[in-house]
Amino acid sequence: MGGQACVFYGAAQVSKDVDFLILAEEANFKKLHAALDTLAATRIAVPAFDPDVLARGHAVHFRCSAPGVGGLRIDIMSRLRDLACFDELWMRRTVIGDADGNEFHLLSVPDLVQAKKTQRAKDWPVIEALVSIHFRENAATPQAQWVDFWLSEARSPELLVDLTARFPAQTAGVLVSRPLLALALAGNLPDLRAALDAEVRAEQDKDRLYWEPLKREMDAFRRAEREEEARHGAGN
Amino acid sequence: MMAKAGAGHRGQSCYLAPVRIEDWPDEWQEWVALTPMERFRESEKIFAQYIALGGSLDPDPDPTSPFDNPSEWNSNAAHGRAGLRVLRRGAS
């Protein structure tokens, strides 16, 4: 769902880890445990691998040591901020297959864009690339839902100016939820850039707020693990 | 390490340098022109080269990430830089 999906979609050339969004069901966890065993994956950071913890929005981090994947990091989540439940995300996923019959199931581009709206500075250029590439690949046959997506999520001022000029009727519909489109319609690039920056900062603030209790919980997990290690050490 | 298409910051701006895909460097034009599966295969090659050159799989330090905790993640990193590996630790 993360960097590897961005590779498939063209917004990145390589990623150092693999992020998985999983269905948090008991049967699925059994399969996941088996897969992690095959990869000789061990947890490398808090929190512990616990369905309840995942359901609260945490990510669980593993490092593999099986031959061929030594050192590879895997992050697992079952819930993403402001995204639909797994079933909905799965319904609208992108599936890419190769000649050998392997299938790669990716978050759809719109869902991946939502998932990338984080407090991390590095995610925002990726969003811009994802939308720009999606526009380039679909501009010749623009479906209404794609036009709404581009107008709602494009981050390049020039692309927004192009889009609002090309799709004025749809722009009027999206304008209520994204007022900065008025600046694009007017071709006011300096104010549009400032408005795009403000949009990023607002979304980053939302993400920080979302993570605040989770970060406190992670600190508590770390303290508990240190205490447990100390007790274990004292017992030896 | 996640190289991004056209990534570039202008001053304090949070978004990409305002260029269309048509204005991206040739390397990225070629990348975007590939099919998704071709991108994945090429990425595998780049990743293999990176590993062969001793590249680290530790996360890059990112103070803006909620997961940023160098003491927890980068046990093998020198001075918090994911690209460097500690070969020998001195007394300090």
Are residue A104 and residue A33 in the same domain, yes or no? Answer: yes
User: Do A16 and A52 share a structural domain?
Assistant: yes
Question: What was the pLDDT predicted at A80?
Answer: 94
Confidence (pLDDT) at B62: 82
Count of CB atoms situated within 10 Å of the CB of A155? 22
What residue numbers bound the domain in which A179 lies?
123-208
Yes or no: say if A201 and B14 are a contact pair by the CB < 8 Å rule: yes
| pTM score, whole prediction | 0.86
**DSSP annotation string for B12-74:** T--S--S--GGGS-HHHHHHHHS-HHHHHHHHHHHHHHHHHTT---SPPP-TTSTT--HHHH-
Best of A1, A4, A14 to mutate (most B CBs within 10 Å, chain B): A14
- Each residue's pLDDT tens digit, A75-99: 999 999 999 999 999 999 999 999 9
B49 in contact with chain A, both atoms CB, cutoff 8 A: no
Look at residue A24 and tell me whether its pLDDT is greater than 70.
yes
User: Does residue A197 lie within any of the structural domains?
Assistant: yes
- What is the secondary structure of chain A as a DSSP string? --HHHHHHHTSBS--SEEEEE----HHHHHHHHHHHHHTT-EE-SSS-S-HHHHHTT--EEEE--STTSTT-EEEEES--TT---HHHHHHT-EEEE-TTS-EEEE--HHHHHHHT-SS-TTHHHHHHHHHHHHHHHHTTS--HHHHHHHHHH---HHHHHHHHHH-HHHHHHHTTT-TTHHHHHTT-HHHHHHHHHHHHHHHHHHHHHHHHHHHHHHHHHHHHHHHHHHHHHHH-
Task: Characterize A175-201 residue by residue with b for buried, 16 or more Cβ atoms within 10 angstroms of its Cβ, and e for exposed.
Answer: beebebbebbbeebeeebbebbeebbe
* Residue B61 banded pLDDT, cuts 50, 70, 90: confident
- pLDDT greater than 60 at residue A43: yes
Q: Indicate the pLDDT class of residue B73, thresholds 50, 70 and 90.
A: low
Contact by Cβ (8 Å): A88, A34: no
Same domain, A73 and A22: yes
Q: What is the DSSP letter of B84?
A: E
Residues A160 and A132 in one domain: yes
pLDDT at B64: 84
Residue B1 has pLDDT above 80, yes or no: no
Same domain, A130 and A197: yes
Q: Which residue of A has its CA nearest to B46?
A: A14
Strands A73-77 and A17-21: parallel
- Within-domain flag for A67: yes
Q: Select, from the ranges A30-34, A167-171, A227-231, B80-84, the one with the highest average predicted confidence (pLDDT).
A: A167-171
Of A53, A76, A108, the domain-final residue = A108
Residues A8 and A81 in one domain: yes
> What is the pLDDT of chain B when averaged over all its residues?
69
A90 lies in the same domain as A156: no
Out of A8, A11, A155, closest to residue B15 by CB:
A155
Per-residue model confidence (pLDDT) at position B74: 55
Average pLDDT, chain A: 93
Do residues A134 and A170 share a domain?
yes
Q: Do B66 and A215 touch (CB under 8 A)?
A: yes
A232 pLDDT band, cuts 50/70/90, is confident
**B35 exposure class (CB count in 10 Å sphere: 0-12, 13-18, 19+):** exposed
Residue A16: inside a domain:
yes
Q: What is the pLDDT of residues A149-162, one digit of tens each?
A: 999 999 999 999 99
pLDDT value at B78 more than 70:
no
Residues A131 and A100 reside in one and the same domain: no
Is A100 within the bounds of a domain? yes
- Region A39-67: what's the mean pLDDT? 91
Is A218 within a domain? no
The tokens 């790669």 sit on which residue?
A104
- Each residue of A160-175: pLDDT tens digit? 999 999 999 999 999 9
By mean pLDDT, which of A5-9, A35-39, A203-207, B13-17 is the weakest? B13-17
Is the model's pLDDT at A55 over the cut of 80?
yes
The reply to whether A90 touches chain B by the CB within 8 Å rule is no
Q: What is the pLDDT of residues A179-193, one digit of tens each?
A: 999 999 999 999 999
Q: What's the gap in Å between the CA of A54 and the closest CA on chain B?
A: 14
Residues A66 and A24 in one domain: yes
Domain of A87: which CATH number? Answer: 3.10.450
Which has more confidence, A207 or B5?
A: A207
Select from A4, A156, A222 the Cβ nearest to the Cβ of B20: A156
A8 lies in the same domain as A104: yes
Q: Is residue A217 part of a domain?
A: no
Average pLDDT over residues A47-54: 90
Give residue A139's pLDDT band: very low, low, confident or very high (50, 70, 90).
Answer: very high
Residues of A in contact with B77 (CB under 8 A): none
Identify the domain boundary among A84, A108, A132: A108
Using CA coordinates, name the residue in chain A closest to B62. Answer: A120
Test the B interface: residue of A8, A9, A16 with most B CBs within 10 Å: A16
| Contact status of A8 with chain B (Cβ, < 8 Å) | yes
Q: Evaluate whether residue A228 is within a structural domain.
A: no
Q: What's the number of domains chain A is made of?
A: 2
Nearest to B14 among A121, A126, A159 (CB): A121
CB of B31 less than 8 A from some CB of A: yes
Decide if A87 is inside a domain.
Answer: yes
Q: Are residues A151 and A174 in the same domain?
A: yes
- Phi, psi (deg, nearest 5) at residue A115: -65, -25
pLDDT for position A236:
61
A14 vs B: CB within 8 A: yes
With an 8 Å Cβ cutoff, are A119 and B64 in contact? yes
Confidence of residue A48 (pLDDT cuts 50, 70, 90): confident
**In whole angstroms, what is the distance from residue B86 CA to residue B82 CA?**
10
